[in-house]
Amino acid sequence: MGKAILCYEIMPESIESVDLVEEGLKKLNPGKIEKKPIAFGLSAFEVTFIIEDAEGAAGNTDEIETNLEKVEGVGSVKSMGVTLA
């Protein structure tokens, strides 16, 4: 089968945790991390994962979202979309 692309928006808990969140996200080995300024020093992250779609991407999204929520300093995780590559 092909590959699936999963995109998430990650919001840090506070301005102080932006760098901590960025380092934690890098440890999850995503395909891409994009830092986007929001306001007053706070940034959100758009994180993209590329996974095998052998049994459907849905089974992997829960695990990925759980790992994203466990990153120290993360305030919220929002799924932005899933598509086939």
For 14-24, the pLDDT digits (tens) are: 999 999 999 99
Structure tokens at 66: 């759980």
User: What size, in residues, is the chain?
Assistant: 85
**Average pLDDT rounded to a whole number, residues 22-27:** 97
Q: What is the pLDDT of residue 54?
A: 66
φ, ψ dihedrals at 45, nearest 5°: -120, 135
φ, ψ dihedrals at 56, nearest 5°: 90, 135
pLDDT band for position 61 (cuts 50, 70, 90): confident
Q: Is the pLDDT of residue 59 over 70?
A: no
Average pLDDT, the chain: 91
pTM value is: 0.88
